[in-house]
Amino acid sequence: MSVTMPPQEPVDEDVETKPDTRSRAAKAKEKLTSPWATLAAIIIAVFWTVPTVALFMSSLIPGDRYRTDAWWTVMADGDLTFENFTTVLFDSFGDNSTAPPLLEYVFNSIVVTVPSVVLPVVLGLMAAYAFAWIPFRGSSFLFVLIFALQVVPLQLALIPLLRILGPENLGIAGEFPGVWIAHTIFALPLSVFLLHNFVSHIPREVLEAARVDGASHTQMFFRIIIPLSLPAVASLAIFQFLWVWNDLLVSAVFGSANTYPLTYPISNLAGDYGQYAYLVPPAAFISMIIPLIVFFSLQRYFVRGLLAGSTKG
Amino acid sequence: MTSTGVPAVTPMPMDGLDAQFWSAQGQNLLLGAIAIIAFLAIVALIMYGADLIKGGARDKVQLVVLVTPVLGLLAVGLIYPALDTTWLSFNEITNEPDPDTGIFTTTMSFVGLDNYRFAFSDPTTLRTILNTFVWMILVPLMSTGIGLAYAVFIDRAKGEKVLKSLVFMPMAISLVGASVIWGNIMYDYNQVGEQTGMLNALRALVGLDPYNFLVDDPWNTFWLIVILVWIQTGFAMVILSAAIKGVPVEQNEAASLDGANAWQRFWSITIPSIRSTIVVVLTTITIMALKVYDIVRTVTQGRNNTDIVANKMYVLSFVEGREALGAALAVILFVFVIPIVIYNVRSLNKVRETH
């Protein structure tokens, strides 16, 4: 049951199958690799990659040909250009030529994302340790409650939370701190649950030995829990990074023109088929570069995180 | 290159990047850095401060320090707002001038189920709810079906890791990015001239008329659903692939000796062994499909009967100022997931009991 699949279980894709099991396995499965299955796999692989390539090619079409010519036609004419990327990044991105450049939103995305990853991971690890190893009254009830909160649609919290963060109360809606806090709150249930799964599998002897030596919870947290949970922290951090970087809803509700990340102007301009439509593909491609780098370089950790907490809603 | 009317080249490159731009960005980055450092410093200070306490109270205080931030934030930021939204959905907000003073005042009055009655009787809103239901059914089934098929087809194939990465990659792409890829590139439709959309170009290649994917109701909802399926299939595939590799080889071997073919073994051994994982994948994607508003907002903005509850809720609450109706839609979304919440809590309790 992968709801509680322990993260350290060696079930991810990189598992080395022993040579003799491999050949036995090959024998046991023989005909599943029929030509039809291969064909279906190829079709799926093509449909899952070509669209992204097409986006990249479309972002190279000069503005005056974007509406009328497909990228392959423009390519055949040798007219593809990287100019759109510099235009979008450094000049302006929007439905008029005075709109701010996309670079501003790149910075906003960074400023929104990094604290929104650090805060829930640290707070989540603290609570995960308490729920896993410190017996107290109501512990199991609270843990189940947090677990259940994972699937509550965040739409249910938006209006009142905006009021709490808004001008009548805290006055930080529309500014970075407001966006960080909203992201942190929405990330906590998954963070606690996923880290709890990992922390609770730390061998009991390790913690008991420290306890016998008179270590306090604070000392255990810094000396044992943090160093031993780094793999789980890495998984969660990547997961949360992609989540926040790619988010639109939280930023749209709790942010403002000063804080909007990349997704916001792109989403706005995507439905606008006017003369600036040609700026959308390069902007969308730029917004994907950092998550794709993170994803491909840290895929192992990401997969591990998915396997450990596959109930994220 | 520089022909009619389209400003492909702005006369003054990097116009926007003046000193003011850099100082604003610098300030923001600094703010972020300071926030992180201050946060970590405060956490460390409080934790070590709680360590200075002597005697029996120490453990209790430290426990409070560990759990309070999470419990407090969730109580104030998630549980209270959820209850408040639910209450709001049974009310009506009116903003009218006071008969005596003429000052505009906002009043909230209890109207019972009126908002829900409206949601289920107004044709546009009802269609929105039905569309959400279609998303909730089709996205998990299609993603899981395709993901499972792909996982099985490439299991132990040469280059399996690369083949997996290809299908998994959209997980890193934002829903907005995916919406641009499909809405602006794949589904693009031109009434006349060359078809610039990939799919319509393919249709033209085999002699079919161009098809307006995003306008043809009710199929346009299906084409939007494809976008989320494209994102979620990788998730299903990776989780299911790990589960398939956990199925003991011996079982397959034994069945093979008994003369079962690959198809029979798949249905009688693989599927039953990974059933619980399939359920987890289905429920996870169902919840995801309910909440997603990015795709509809980016591609159609709900036009041509493609709206879904998550988008409608946003528009009602934050654009049109009809918060009570928006709240009712949010509650309807929650009602859709309640069975999943109950199921998940039950299975969690089962696992915890066995530990």
Q: A121-130, A236-245, B101-110: which range is least confident on average? A: B101-110
A85, A217, A285: best to mutate for the B interface, most B CBs within 10 A: A217
The whole-model pTM stands at: 0.89
Looking at residue B15, its pLDDT comes to 58
Whether A115 sits inside 8 A of B163 (CB atoms) is no
Chain A nearest CA to B102, separation (Å): 23
- Residues 52-111 of chain B with CB under 8 A from chain A are 58-59, 62-63, 65-67, 69-71, 73-74, 76-82, 84-86, 88
d(CA A27, CA B265): 13
Question: What proportion of chain A, given as a percentage, has pLDDT over 90?
Answer: 65
- Residues 312-351 of chain B with CB under 8 A from chain A are 313-314, 317-318, 323, 326-327, 329-331, 333-334, 337, 340-341, 344-345, 347-349, 351
User: B182 vs A12, which has greater pLDDT?
Assistant: B182
- How many CA atoms lie less than 13 Å away from A86 in the CB half-sphere? 10
**Interface pTM, i.e. ipTM:** 0.88
CB atoms within 10 A of CB B76: 15
Per DSSP bridges, beta strands B91-97 and B104-110 are antiparallel
Contacts of B177 in chain A (CB under 8 A): 55, 246, 263, 266, 284-285, 287-288
Q: Is the pLDDT of residue A206 over 80?
A: yes
Contacts of A218 in chain B (CB under 8 A): 47-48, 50-51, 62, 65
Check if A141 contacts B (Cβ < 8 Å).
no
d(CA B6, CA B1): 10
Q: Is the pLDDT of residue B41 over 60?
A: yes
Letter string b/e over residues B125-161, b meaning 16 or more CB atoms within 10 A of that residue's CB: bebbbebbeebbebbbebbbebbbbbbbbbbeeeeee
Each residue's pLDDT tens digit, B219-237: 999 999 999 999 999 999 9
Residue range B327-338: average pLDDT? 93
Residue range B329-343: average pLDDT? 91
Looking at residue A130, its pLDDT comes to 96
Q: Is the pLDDT of residue B121 over 50?
A: yes
Q: Is the pLDDT of residue A66 over 60?
A: yes
Contacts of A64 in chain B (CB under 8 A): 1-4, 6, 8
Residue range B54-75: average pLDDT? 93
The number of C-beta contacts closer than 8 angstroms across A and B is 453
Tokens 């549980």 -> residue? B79
Residue range B288-305: average pLDDT? 93
Check if A31 contacts B (Cβ < 8 Å).
yes
Task: Find the residue in B nearest to A155 (Cα).
Answer: B330
Task: Find the residue in A nearest to B46 (Cα).
Answer: A218
**B239: which residues sit within 8 A by CB, 6+ positions away?**
A2, A306, A307, A310, B277, B280, B281
Contacts of B146 in chain A (CB under 8 A): 44
- Residues 142-201 of chain B with CB under 8 A from chain A are 146, 149-150, 152-157, 160-161, 163-177, 179-186, 193-196, 198, 201
Q: Is the pLDDT of residue A255 over 60?
A: yes
Contacts of A69 in chain B (CB under 8 A): 194, 196
Looking at residue B13, its pLDDT comes to 54
Assign B258 a pLDDT band (cuts: 50, 70, 90): confident
Q: A28-32, A240-244, A296-300, B211-215: which range is least confident on average? A: A28-32
Looking at residue B3, its pLDDT comes to 42
Looking at residue B55, its pLDDT comes to 81
Each residue's pLDDT tens digit, A279-302: 999 999 999 999 999 988 888 888
Question: What proportion of chain B, given as a percentage, has pLDDT over 90?
Answer: 65
Please work out, in degrees rounded to the nearest 5, the angle formed at the alpha carbon of residue A257 by the alpha carbons of B25 and A272. Answer: 115
Looking at residue B12, its pLDDT comes to 53
Looking at residue B261, its pLDDT comes to 83
Looking at residue B219, its pLDDT comes to 95
Looking at residue B47, its pLDDT comes to 93
Each residue's pLDDT tens digit, B171-195: 999 999 999 999 999 999 988 888 9
The DSSP line for B188-199 is: ---SSSS--SHH
Sketch out chain A's domains with CATH numbers. 18-91 (no CATH), 102-308 (1.10.3720.10)
Assign B208 a pLDDT band (cuts: 50, 70, 90): very high
Question: What proportion of chain B, given as a percentage, has pLDDT over 70?
Answer: 95
Whether B47 sits inside 8 A of A299 (CB atoms) is no
Task: Find the residue in B nearest to A101 (Cα).
Answer: B16
Looking at residue B1, its pLDDT comes to 38
Name the CATH topology of B124-354. Answer: MetI-like fold (1.10.3720)
Structure tokens at B294: 């990015």
Chain A nearest CA to B303, separation (Å): 11
Assign B291 a pLDDT band (cuts: 50, 70, 90): confident
Contacts of A92 in chain B (CB under 8 A): 10, 15-16
Looking at residue A211, its pLDDT comes to 87
Assign A8 a pLDDT band (cuts: 50, 70, 90): very low
Contacts of A11 in chain B (CB under 8 A): 242-243, 245-246
Contacts of B164 in chain A (CB under 8 A): 13
Average pLDDT, chain B: 89
Looking at residue A224, its pLDDT comes to 92
| CB-CB contact of B280 with B288 (8 Å) | no
| CB-CB contact of B289 with A61 (8 Å) | no
Residue range A238-243: average pLDDT? 92
Each residue's pLDDT tens digit, A72-91: 999 999 989 999 999 999 98
The one-letter amino acid code at A148 reads A
The one-letter amino acid code at A92 reads S
Looking at residue A223, its pLDDT comes to 92
CA terminus-to-terminus distance, chain B: 69
Q: Is the pLDDT of residue A4 over 50?
A: no
